[in-house]
Amino acid sequence: MSGVLYLCATPIGNLGDITERCLKTLRDADLIAAEDTRRTLQLLNHFEITKPLTSYHEHNKREKGAYIIELLKSGKNVALVSDAGTVAISDPGEDLVSRCIENDISVSPIPGAVAAVNALIISGLPTRRFAFEGFLSVNKRHRHEHLEAVKNDTHTLIFYEAPHKLKGTLKDLYEALGDRKIAIIRELTKIHEEAIRTTLSNAIKLYDDEPARGEFVLVIEGAARGTANTEDNPLNSLSVSEHVEKYIADGLSQKDAVKRAAADRGVPKREIYNEYHNL
Ligand code: SAM
């Protein structure tokens, strides 16, 4: 029988946030696979856990993934940990999970901290409906397409960003989304934890003078309802099918094409999806 891949969430700053179940899973695993072995070794040393450790990261995920799958198939249990926080959220764990599922290997979560949700709950912005958008691409075209695709979304948006890119990203967000409320959440669970609740235009001014340091989550209010610029968009004169097909022809997946068409028309995605599929 195959072993189990345990996705072990580790603290995003404060070591006190590790769970008992996570410690037990790490102790019981046959192998720990870590995105950054040096960082994980510090964690293991702190909790006096001695276990075989191997690296699994963006640049070796193919070969190391294949090796881990073989181990799991042979009945060994593997604990996967990311740099920090929940595995498979903006890290290569996502890949290994798919491979396990393809190979009929069980995957089990060991829950814990995730920066996005903890930032959201202290942002002061609506929490009932939100979308995690991850990191914006460094590629200008992809970044632009991503922002265009979400600009009419009315739910709260959550982005991750690295400090050295923060200034540029705030400007791109302002250009694409207009002036909206933003909560800039920094260094969650650490000594310098901070939440700045402001607007995108003020945030740009703020970081013009001040260098950005630490880890950041950006929580941004959704578009005001009914503000989608539906009249100016010539694509809105097409039928729904033609509209979606146009985006597919441009290279978008069907899912993204439906999302874009819905944003253009200022209607829910489900409406476009149903009409496109004649449901
Ligand atoms: N797996 C992680 C999680 O569960 O949140 C995210 C990993 S992603 C590679 C790293 C990004 O998460 C950082 O660039 C930052 O945007 C965010 N992040 C991680 N820890 C954070 C913290 N303590 N405070 C604020 N943001 C954090």
pLDDT in tens, 70-109: 999 999 999 999 999 999 999 999 999 999 999 999 999 9
Residue for token pair 């995108």: 200
Which atom, in ligand 1's list, is nearest to the CA of 186?
A: 25
Q: Where does residue 40 fall: left (phi above 0), alpha (psi -120 to 50 degrees), or beta otherwise? A: alpha
Mutation test residue for ligand 1: of 8, 12, 86, 165, the one with most atoms within 8 Å of CB: 12
d(CA 92, CA 86): 11
Whether 176 has a pLDDT exceeding 70, the answer reads yes
Domain count, the chain: 3
* DSSP-derived 3-state class of residue 111: coil
CATH number for 61: 3.40.1010.10
CA of 134 relative to ligand 1 center, distance in Å? 10
- pTM, full prediction: 0.82
Identify whether 229 is part of a domain: no
pLDDT of residue 230: 60
Are both 122 and 204 inside the same structural domain?
A: yes
Residue bearing the CA closest to ligand 1, atom 13: 215
d(CA 239, CA 162): 41
- CB of residue 114 inside a 6 A radius of ligand 1: yes
Mean pLDDT of 215-239: 82
Identify whether 75 is part of a domain: yes
Identify whether 132 is part of a domain: yes
What's the chain's average pLDDT?
Answer: 94
CATH number for 149: 3.30.950.10
Are both 163 and 196 inside the same structural domain?
A: yes
- Give me the amino acid identity at 90: S
Q: Residue 51 in contact with residue 29, Cβ under 8 Å? A: yes
- Report which secondary-structure segment, H or E, holds 31: strand 31-34
Identify whether 58 is part of a domain: yes
Identify whether 65 is part of a domain: yes
Q: Residue 5 in contact with residue 106, Cβ under 8 Å? A: yes
Q: Looking at mean pLDDT, say which of 177-181, 239-243, 246-250 comes out highest.
A: 177-181
Q: What tens digit of pLDDT does each residue of 5-43 get?
A: 999 999 999 999 999 999 999 999 999 999 999 999 999
Identify whether 228 is part of a domain: no
- CB of residue 122 inside a 6 A radius of ligand 1: no
Identify whether 227 is part of a domain: no
CA of 12 relative to ligand 1 center, distance in Å? 7
Looking at residue 194, the DSSP 8-state letter turns out to be: E
d(CA 57, CA 60): 6
Identify the domain containing residue 264 by its residue range: 234-276
What's the token pair of residue 82? 């990311």
Whether 232 has a pLDDT exceeding 80, the answer reads no
Are both 135 and 102 inside the same structural domain?
A: no
